[in-house]
Amino acid sequence: MSLRLILAIIGALILAAILWDGYRHWRKSEGFSLASKFKIKDFTGKFSAKNDSESTPMQPLSSDDAPDILAPIQIDDHDDSPVFNTKVNAPQETAAKSTTPPQAPANEHAVIVLHVLAKPGEHFSGDDLRIKFQSARLYFGELQLFHKHENDDIKQPVLFSLANALEPGKFDLAHLDSFTTTGLALFLQLPGEFEPQSAFKQMHQTAQSLAQRLNARLCDRHRQPLTPETLQRYTNQVALYRK
């Protein structure tokens, strides 16, 4: 065999070896690239062959998994800043709340009544009543009733009046010594030429004083014991007539 042929054979073997080595390196690098694209890591850190098309379908995102940027904005209700002082999406008030207290219609009238009633089996004598009325600055006058005047001046408007709780309701001043009754009725007519709340306060205080001094019961217009709730209801009613 000639030297030329031997060299050609050797050259062919070297070329074949180079091509084979290159082919092996290409297969290895391409395989790694494909594994990175189509395989996932298991808990051991190794790659397991699993195509995306074979993976478990994606589930809807739950509220627990939601990122923080999806959380509702929280605003401090006590923030004093002029901008962030209401809740998000809170409806705005269309008009300012009215601060004007309610009042009774101009043509509406009312009568507030308190009773001072003797205990069962007892009565009030005319002589005793005369003394108590004088002490309370109640003056005999129109309609044969006793009246409380503003500033205790008979020339001033009447604040409230006191009547006999028994029919016909009036007092006979000439025969008061022999007069007896089982009850008194104090009443305030609204509206009037006075400050109604002050007038009612004075009437209530007078009724309390008479009940105490006569050892009697303080009652409402229905002759039932005057409760704090009823007294508050009367006070609220009187307030409707303030000037």
CA–CA–CA angle 226, 231, 237 (5° rounding): 135
What is the residue range of 175's domain? 110-239
Residue 220 has pLDDT above 90, yes or no: yes
Quick check: is 88 in a domain?
no
Quick check: is 65 in a domain?
no
Quick check: is 137 in a domain?
yes
Q: Are residues 33 and 144 in the same domain?
A: no
User: Over the stretch 92-128, which tens digit does the pLDDT of each residue have?
Assistant: 444 445 566 777 666 689 999 999 999 999 999 999 9
Q: Are residues 150 and 232 in the same domain?
A: yes
Residue 69 has pLDDT above 90, yes or no: no
Quick check: is 24 in a domain?
yes
Q: Are residues 206 and 118 in the same domain?
A: yes
Q: Are residues 27 and 115 in the same domain?
A: no
Separation of alpha carbons 137 and 76, rounded Å: 60
Q: Are residues 118 and 197 in the same domain?
A: yes
Quick check: is 93 in a domain?
no
Q: Are residues 122 and 233 in the same domain?
A: yes
Count structural domains, the chain: 2
Rounded mean pLDDT, 156-176: 94
Percent of the chain whose predicted confidence (pLDDT) is above 90: 53
89-119 CB burial, b ≥16 within 10 A, e <16: eeeeeeeeeeeeeeebeeeeeeebbbbbbbe
The pTM is what? 0.58
Residues 6+ apart with CB under 8 A from 170: 143, 144, 145, 163, 164
Q: What is the pLDDT of residue 103?
A: 74
Q: Are residues 139 and 221 in the same domain?
A: yes
